[in-house]
Every structure is written in structure tokens, then in C-alpha cells.
């Protein structure tokens, strides 16, 4: 008397399940276009810039050191930071390629 009868739901819940996943799919699409895709594009641009480094280019390293490239190796480059002062840094530490003529005092 106190327990009510339990009835099974009708079949056809596949469309309802798909509608339940729709917000998750939309959130992933937004995340991809706003975060993942721009980050991949930036990484690709950084890699192509590092691969194109040549002697005479003026660069800024990750530590903020500004210099002119004097030697380019496989994984290291040599920067002239002042007249007669050279440093070796990893290629991956180069952040920015400066326009020619930016550094005047070297």
C-alpha cells in the first residue's frame, strides 16, 4: 500500500543521450578554437623563426639578452653582446628576432 508501482521508461533514449553530450562537445570546440589552435600556431611560428636564424641577425634571448648572431651551430648560437664579448646560448632560448639595425652600439 505504501510502495508505489515502478514502471520502465519507454525505449528511444539514444537521441536524448546525444543531446546530453552536445554541451560537452560544444565546450571542447570552443576550447580548441580559443586556446589550443592559437598556441599550436604560435609554436609553429617560433620553430620556423629558430630554424631560419642566420649570422648577422639581431635577437633577444629568453633572459632578455640582446645581441647579434656571429656563429650558428646545430643546437647553439654565439651572440655578440658587446664589442669583443661573445656568449653561447641555446637556439631554443631565442625569443624574438629584431629588425636589422636595431642594435647600434655593437
40: cell is 599550436
- pLDDT of amino acid 24: 92
How long, in residues, is the chain?
Answer: 106
CB 86 within 8 A of CB 69: no
For residue 14, the model assigns a pLDDT of 67
What domains lie within the chain, and their CATH numbers? Answer: 12-52 (no CATH), 54-98 (2.30.30.60)
pLDDT tens sequence across 26-57: 999 999 999 999 999 999 999 999 999 999 99
pLDDT for 1 equals 65
Q: Give the span between the Cα atoms of 10 and 7, in whole angstroms.
A: 9
pLDDT for 7: 72
Amino acid at each position: 500500500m505504501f510502495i508505489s508501482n515502478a514502471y520502465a521508461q519507454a525505449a528511444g533514449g539514444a537521441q536524448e543521450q546525444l543531446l546530453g553530450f552536445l554541451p560537452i562537445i560544444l565546450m571542447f570546440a570552443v576550447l580548441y578554437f580559443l586556446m589550443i589552435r592559437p598556441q599550436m600556431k604560435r609554436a609553429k611560428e617560433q620553430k620556423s623563426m629558430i630554424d631560419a636564424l642566420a649570422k648577422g641577425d639581431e635577437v633577444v634571448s629568453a633572459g632578455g639578452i640582446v645581441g647579434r648572431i656571429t656563429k650558428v651551430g646545430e643546437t647553439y648560437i654565439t651572440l655578440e653582446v658587446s664589442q669583443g664579448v661573445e656568449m653561447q646560448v641555446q637556439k631554443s632560448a631565442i625569443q624574438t628576432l629584431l629588425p636589422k639595425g636595431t642594435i647600434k652600439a655593437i
